[in-house]
Amino acid sequence: MKYIAITLGPITRTIEMAESTKELWAASYFFSYLAKKIVEPFVKKNRTFQLPLINEEMQKPHCGAGLFPDRYIFKSEPGDLELLKQHSDQVLIEIAGHIASPSLPGTAKDVSQIYHYLKSYIKIYFIERTLESDDPHVVIPACEKYLNIIENQETFPEQEETMISHQKSDFLKFLITNVNGKIYRKDKNSIPRFTGSFLTRDAFGDMNGERLFESILEISASELNINIQQKALEVITANEKNKGEKYSDQIWDAEEIILNDNKAQLRPYHKYIAIIKSDGDSMGETIKSMGAYNIPITQLSKALLSFNIESINEIVAYGGKPIFIGGDDLLCFAPVCCNGNNVFNLVEKLSTCFDQCINQHLQQYINACSEAQRPLPSLSFGISITYHKYPMFEALHTTDYLLEMVAKDNLFKYTLSNKNILNENMKRFILKNKLAFSLQKHSGQIYHTAMSKKGKSYVKFNMLLQKYILKNKDMSKTQESEKFLSSVIQMIRAHAEILQIILQNEDKRTEMLKNYFDNNFNESCHLGYTGLFEDIQTLLCLRYQENIQDYQNRNEIIQQNTILTSDEKEILIVSPAMDAIHTIFTALQFIHFINYNKDE
């Protein structure tokens, strides 16, 4: 049997062109669109796709989220390889025609020029291989081995000259910058509208001239429901009246409109954006285990596709914007807080949605083996919160680090692997199903934490946020809460070593914690905060006890290791007590950040 495997790129290099949320979305969606068009004739011919599952639902617009990944494996028939070669070229020609379309501002008209640029830049690599097995558990790893080799080949496109500017130009950069199309107005009393582009039409359908992807500040302040296009009309009308500028050529700055016209409504957290990224845990182990029990891998594919669709709905309902969602990978922008919910509520909903989809579609696998022998996928998350003017790609790199090195425990795994000491005994200490979080203030202060999503401390952490983040922003109560919460935070910071000693006292931990808070917060103004003190104590104890389970044996083995350096040991060893204190400190800082009513 013959199989064709396809991989597309360069995704990372293209995404790094982006300088705004709109451009980041366009760069990501471009490859989803490219993939959809390339595999289209083979989907119509009903070829059997081993990777990924493709159905009609993926073809529909889903709030702009690209659902087509960058790798494909399908069972080929005679003539398919030649068809793929010809069709790939035709897709690039069609895309070149779209980029040259008059609906995009200032574009070159030379389609062949754009095509040659795309041909030299875009990586469309494919191979055809004969394999004896038709078992997906054999076919997919065999084909992916070849794809891993060929996708390392780099492409280095020549910069082309546009017919208009006669300057060196990157046509793909031009596309993602102008993905909304041209601005137009029917008359001087009409709000500005956009012609759109082939990407926006494919992603969103017919949006009747709406501006299709918001700036960072629009997303972060989405709960204010600001009509930017209507506000833009007011700005343009004023310019026409005062400066005599032609309305058809007007461009506006959405963030300036928000900052200048909505000062009374804006709270400090509205000026910060959350970037959320997730990746699946135990996917390889699950696929291998399913193969051992002869469970079709399509069941896992159906679970992941179901999660993709439902997660888009969750993100949009919260007020966020999905950038890419495919399989177990997810990237989105979201408000820090929106209509009474916060970013941790969104992550919890996404985690629950993932678990439900897995349990629903993998029932045959779940029933086939005992829980102890049954690896199941979970989702780990990286969340970075940064100021809206913070360089976007630094924030993205922070999110990547939080997910890969912290949440997925790869710092531990890679350090041991590089030293050739990652044996089976040490692999059992790799933690999964985690969340890593960072809040970087405009002032430069950084608060961060990481925790397992399967423990009681995670439930208590979310409860603490939900309970003490103020829903009603009454100014008098807000100011009182700010002042008190700030004093608690400072006390915990100053007394961290004392709290560490208390937590390490196995016999009298609960009693000593109660005495600490009773003695340090015993004035009449503290009487109304007894519940907060009790919740802090509970979270400290839960987090410490879970850390003992997760890290104590691992810490001892690391400490005794003679190959690791002292610096490596210092980085890898986690103090159960200090980590628990750090978690509560970060939780209180996050609550204070949301409730705080003044800019720094």
Distances (CA, A) of 141 to 244, 375, 379: 64, 19, 22
- Sequence-distant (6+) residues with CB within 8 A of 174 are 99, 104, 107, 162
State the Cα–Cα distance between residues 200 and 213, nearest whole angstrom: 9
- Sequence-distant (6+) residues with CB within 8 A of 496 are 578, 581, 585
* Residue listed under structure tokens 């159906």: 302
Closest CA relative to residue 282, chosen from 344, 349, 358: 358
Mean pLDDT, the chain, rounded, equals: 88
- Sequence-distant (6+) residues with CB within 8 A of 293 are 365, 368, 369
Condensed to tens digits (0 to 9), the pLDDT of residues 369-412 reads 888 788 999 999 999 999 998 998 899 999 999 999 999 999 99
State the Cα–Cα distance between residues 389 and 159, nearest whole angstrom: 30
Condensed to tens digits (0 to 9), the pLDDT of residues 238-264 reads 666 665 554 444 455 667 777 777 777
Closest CA relative to residue 535, chosen from 443, 475, 465, 472: 465
Give me the pLDDT at residue 236, please: 64
| DSSP assigned state of 403 | I
Quick check: pTM over 0.85?
Answer: yes
Give me the pLDDT at residue 183, please: 79
The answer to whether the beta carbons of residues 404 and 382 sit under 8 Å apart is yes
48 three-state secondary structure: coil
Give me the pLDDT at residue 238, please: 67
Give me the pLDDT at residue 247, please: 42
Closest CA relative to residue 252, chosen from 264, 240, 263: 240
State the Cα–Cα distance between residues 493 and 69, nearest whole angstrom: 45
Distances (CA, A) of 234 to 192, 240, 261, 342: 10, 10, 11, 32
Low-confidence ranges of the chain (pLDDT < 50): 159-168, 246-250
| DSSP assigned state of 191 | P
| Residue % of the chain over a pLDDT of 70 | 89
The count of other CB atoms within 10 Å of the CB of residue 215 is 21
Side-chain-side CA neighbours of residue 479 (13 Å): 2
264-453, superfamily in CATH? Reverse transcriptase/Diguanylate cyclase domain (3.30.70.270)
State the Cα–Cα distance between residues 469 and 534, nearest whole angstrom: 17
Distance from the Cα of residue 415 to its chain's centroid: 25
Q: Length of the chain in residues, anyone?
A: 600
State the Cα–Cα distance between residues 218 and 585, nearest whole angstrom: 30
Q: Where in the chain are all domains bearing CATH 3.30.70.270?
A: 264-453
Query: Which pair of structure tokens corresponds to residue 216?
Result: 């960072």
Q: Strands 378-387, 434-440: parallel, antiparallel or unpaired by DSSP? A: parallel
The answer to whether the beta carbons of residues 588 and 485 sit under 8 Å apart is yes
The count of other CB atoms within 10 Å of the CB of residue 475 is 8
The count of other CB atoms within 10 Å of the CB of residue 361 is 20
Closest CA relative to residue 479, chosen from 364, 338, 596, 350: 596
- Asked if the peptide bond before residue 10 counts as cis, ω within 30 degrees of 0, the response is yes
Query: Which pair of structure tokens corresponds to residue 208?
Result: 């009747």
Q: At the top level of CATH, which class does the domain 1-169 belong to?
A: alpha beta
Q: Where in the chain are all domains bearing CATH 3.30.70.2220?
A: 1-169
